[in-house]
Structure 1
Amino acid sequence: MSNSGDLLDGGCEGAAGLAVYGAEAVDAAAPASARAALLAEDVPARLVAKDPTLWGPDAQAEAAIRLGWVDTFRRGRELLPQLAELKAELADLDHVVLAGMGGSSLAPEVITRTLGRSLTVLDTTDPGQVRAAIADRLDRTVVVVASKSGSTVETDSHRRAYWQAFLDAGLTEAEAGRHFVVVTDPGSPLADTAAEMGAFVVLADPDVGGRYSALTAFGLVPSALAGVEVAELLDQAEELAGALGGPQDNPGLALGAALGAAATTGRDKVALVSDGTGIDGLGDWAEQLIAESTGKNGVGILPVVVEDPGSPGATGPDVLTVTYGGGLAAGAVPGGGIRPDLAVNGPLGAQFLAWEYATAVAGVVLGIDPFNQPNVTESKENTNRLLGTGLPIETPTFADNGIEGYWFPGEPQRTDPLPGDLAGALRRLLDGLGDGGYLAVMAYLDRFADAKTAQVRPGLAAASGRPVTFGWGPRFLHSTGQYHKGGPQLGSYLQITGDVADDLAVPGKPYSFGQLQAAQAAGDREALAQRGRPVLRLHLTDRAAGIPHLLDAVRGLRS
């Protein structure tokens, strides 16, 4: 490790083209060195040896079947001939749609965006977004249906909708089956369904959890079909892997120790900021990895994806600022007026493995199992119940220019009256954040047609001075949703829903996409409100008019 001429105080630690700047200083600022404690327990060597005892006896059984990511790049190579054959067989189908949730979709999205390939990611239940995807080049579409368990309700709904669309377009069942590639674990119910459909099947590594699956079939299949040379990603990961068992020149250890040291000494929010040097969207992937892996048992690291270095929320007294990119020379500082605590730069395949390794290491420091997700099923169970019983009857607290507001206060100590207007409701929500709280914005909308909604995140961060996250529902339920429920109970929640103008049936099911989306939103706010935390739901009775009005109200909070 060298201290001279580096990007940040605290030196640079690198291998295989991947460099982590600033980690030594972060670790040194803690009362006791997390890195020294990890080395004393021989954690690097034990982790690359897949020792399931690293996270304690309660985590051992889960860890024993979830450490395949450590060297899954080797098994990934075994897929390369199959992927080449598949791509040749489907050469006439040049519109690749990925139906998957959480880690099953986020890694391929990063890969294809970074490497300039086209991929339509369908990770929503919004009927408008689903309908638009199906209407786009259907005759040239191959649908990659990706689900580790094989029972993911969103992905099954997408499969059903596309299957019906192909039949409605005049294809026979045999012809329709050719338009599907199924990625799932061996023995999952989806594998049986794929056989019935006549779909192509690629079996994934069963010893890798979904959020660690970037370099398994879940990441490789859709990326390869979209035209990515995925062997390069495997090469980059393998080159880094040789450094991960050692005590020095180990960027994964440096990053993991710094994340853990910061989280246990008051900086338990991590701002993830692209430095603009060639990796597009890695923050969204790292967000689900970190949040779902660490947010449980009342502890955790809250990742906050920040749009650029100049956006509000990139810094703060309880925030560890981390920039990432594909290459940044020593001595260079990302623009936008911030100086990060950590900078992680290097090739994408190495980034995936380094962040997975670092998250597992941070789990050792925090004393949690980074491979389970004990609270994810809660909202799913609520959704299933509401689909059967119907949505709860809720009365709006206020109506303001096409936006209905519903309060679920969750704060018995507050007795002040609930505001009767949008601006007042937003101000009350922000005023309740306190010194250690955060705000999570959760938008159950169309992330393309309603994309401007995401502008509320920097606006609310600027108005509050606190960390603000933004997630599209139900996509975030498979990532940060675990942290919301299992992590420190310091969150406040702004849920945004919208009227559905043109619903879409889920073939073979007694509900539509709109009903499923509404049930998911209702089930999640029920789970959050039960934890005694404030939840404000804003329902857009007219999306086109409501989104600009909401953005105007957010801008007004700063005046």
Structure 2
Amino acid sequence: MAGKAAEAARELAAEGVPQALASGDSTLWGPSAEAEAAIRLGWLNLPLTSRELIPEITNLVEKAQAEHLDHVVLAGMGGSSLAPEVITATADVPLTVLDTTDPGQVLRALRDRLERTIVVVASKSGGTVETDSHRRIYEQAFRDAGIDPADRIVVVTDPGSPLEQLAIDSGYNIILADPNVGGRYSALSAFGLVPSALAGADVVSLLDEAADVHPLLGEGEGNPGLELGAAIGAAALAGRDKLLLEDALSEINGLPDWIEQLIAESTGKQGLGVLPVVGADPGGAGDELVAVIGTGDGDLRVEGPLGAQFLIWEYATAIAGRLLGIDPFDQPNVAESKANTNELLAAAGEGPLPVGQPLLTDGPVEVYGELPGNPKDLSDVLTILLNQVPGEGYLAIMAYLDRLAAFDIPVAEDASFDEMADAWTAADPATLRALLAVRTDRPVTFGWGPRFLHSTGQYHKGGPQNGVFLQITGAVAEDVPVPGKPYTLGRLQLAQALGDLGALTGRGRPAVRLHLTDRVAGIAHLLHAAREV
């Protein structure tokens, strides 16, 4: 593998690709990609250009501190949320991220120190339905509490977006991002820096770390972005297109989740792509490529501080796209699920959404979909799904649930940390990934909906058509109206799940929806069934 990667890097260097990319050459991905690339290469110079934002960000931080606004909430999706989540987790500063339409998760944030809350509403287009819903809900909550939303809402968006005009009309603080940077390449832009700085992260050091490696991007030798991109691209062309991401020994927290979005959404199109797999142990399959963040054993090892990692992975993704022959800057299939969601909501009006009839019911879990073999219970369903994964395929678990609910599980006051962790794991739907992974030699991924729609959702629909899909939804105990809209968060969440399921089944891929009529009992029952497979 190392030989093919080195050969690919040499060929790219001989063609002048590193220098061309570093200088912003939009022709590198072919004529069909040129127009998009021409307005998407601003990320290359963010380590330098984003410094212009620092005085404005500093003023914003000082104002928030003076007003004792120490609960920072970020309403954003995809690149607008994943990078700040990594930055703040690595800096060990608190940030509440809302990249969900789950009513329980939003209510938890709303009920936490509203009087000391500042909300960053981040959307490049200004029309992201999740973020728009969060803004509307917080505006209403602030007004109900006698707080002027203009004192508490900060908007990060592109110049000329509908959100910019709304923010101007509402008197909100606005910080404009570079319009020539796509969402998943925006870690070092205003989208990454503003919420992170408000939360307490040192964003100047982050830019310094990226600036240190910036001069290497035009080099044909000693260029870590070129070497990484050549390795990923050459491996994928040779059939090793499942990229296992490990960071167990790294001082950086959560980077694989950000890399997952970057690579899956950038490369998963035209029936091609690299599937990032987070949290999995290597299984020795022939299509695996193991990348280690920091120290450890793997096919690839990527070392360096977080700012440098952001820039190098972005560069590497652009290089891999060149090798694969795809446009790494568009996302042609992302809008499909959004359109399905809108159609479902419009067609249903005030009536129930078209969920269909369950194939079977096993305790607090209803099973929807079509499966061969006449399954009798939930364990049969999981067994059939695993057996349907093709030799080069994968199983994707997609949970439209509250990703923090497991931490609400009561534990004894004198419980040790290990005992608390065991209790949380037993209540966490993400545990299903590990339980099923040990029962197959194929990769198993896990995504929280609708968050993954702005990430691996593109790969699911545009990448190789060899996925099998397990979707999980749940009954809503307490819903949240979306002010000014004819739906609640719970209704929107279910419509998003059904819309994406339709996009998957329309491609003929096996897909099943599990609906938890009681979320706590349903998760426990589901994990028990997985152990019986």
Per-residue CA deviation, residues 489-520 of structure 1 (Å, 9 max, x unaligned), is 00000000000011110011000000000000
C-alpha displacement of 1:243: 0.7
- The alpha-carbon deviation at position 434 of structure 1 amounts to 2.3
Q: Select which of 320, 334, 337 maps to 1:379.
A: 337
Q: Distance in 2 between matches of 1:340 and 1:182?
A: 41
Gapped regions of structure 2 (runs ≥ 5): 407-426
In the alignment, structure 1 residue 40 sits paired with structure 2 residue 14: yes
Paired residue type of 1:192: Q
Q: Deviations over 1:254-311 (max 9, x none)?
A: 10000001000010010011132201000000000000000000000000011xxxx5
Partner SS, residue 391 of structure 2: coil
Is the CA contact (8 Å cut-off) linking 1:505 and 1:513 kept in structure 2?
yes
State which of 325, 347, 355 in structure 2 corresponds to 1:389.
347
> Which residue of 349, 370, 391 corresponds with 2:307?
349
Letter in 1 for 2:300: L
2:501 pairs with 1:525: yes
Instruction: Tell me by how many angstroms 1:29 deviates.
Output: 4.5
Residue 198 (structure 1) shift: 1.4
2:320 is equivalent to residue 320 of structure 1: no
Q: What is the alpha-carbon root mean square deviation over aligned residues?
A: 1.2
Q: Contact 2:244–2:282 at 8 Å: present in 1 too?
A: yes
- Aligned with residue 242 of structure 2, among 269, 272, 279: 269
Partner of 2:384: 428
Q: In 1, are the aligned partners of 2:47 and 2:214 still within 8 Å (CA)? A: no
How far the C-alpha of 1:465 sits from its partner, in A, is 1.4
Q: Please show how residues 91-490 of structure 1 align to structure 2 within 5 Å.
A: 91=65, 92-171=68-147, 175-306=148-279, 311-313=280-282, 315-325=284-294, 328=295, 334=296, 339-390=297-348, 391-409=353-371, 416-450=372-406, 452-490=428-466
- Structure 1 residues 276 and 65, CA, compared in 2 at 3 Å: closer, same or farther? same
Q: TM-score, normalised by structure 1?
A: 0.89
**C-alpha displacement at 1:393, in angstroms?**
4.0
Write the distance in 2 (CA, Å) between the matches of 1:344 and 1:60: 30
> 1:428 and 1:456, CA in 2 relative to 1: closer, same or farther beyond 3 A?
same
Q: What is the SS of the residue equivalent to 1:243?
A: helix
Distance 1:303 1:393 in 2: 31
- Pairs aligned (count): 507
Whether the 8 Å contact between 2:368 and 2:514 is mirrored in structure 1 is yes
Deviations 1:420-460 (A, max 9, x none): 31000100000011211100100000000047100111111
Q: Aligned partners of 1:304 and 1:197: how far apart in 2? A: 42
Aligned partners of 1:512 and 1:144: how far apart in 2?
A: 22
Identity of paired residues, percent?
A: 61
Contact 2:398 2:471 in 1 (8 A): yes
- Contact 1:103 1:213 (8 Å CA) reproduced: yes
Amino acid at match of 2:342: N
Higher percent of residues as helix: 2
Cα distance in 2, alignment partners of residues 106 and 237 from structure 1:
18
Partner in structure 1 of residue 34 of structure 2: 60
Moved more, 144-153 or 34-43: 34-43
Secondary structure at 2:119's aligned position in 1? strand
Q: 1:271–1:315: 8 Å Cα contact kept in structure 2?
A: no
Q: 4+ residue runs of structure 1 moved beyond 6 angstroms?
A: none
Q: Equivalents in 1 of 2:29, 2:354: separation in Å?
A: 40
Match of 2:414 in 1: none
Q: Which runs of 5 or more residues in structure 1 are unaligned?
A: 1-25, 329-333, 410-415
Q: Counterpart amino acid of 1:441?
A: I
The amino acid that maps onto 1:358 is A
* Counterpart residue identity of residue 225, structure 1: L
Residue identity in the other structure for 1:278:
E
Structure 1 residues 356-392: Cα deviation after superposition (integer angstroms, max 9, x where no partner): 0000000000000000000000000000011111222
Q: Secondary structure at the match of 1:452?
A: coil
SS in 2 for 1:303: strand
Question: Are the aligned partners of 1:27 and 1:261 in contact in 2 as well (CA < 8 Å)?
Answer: no
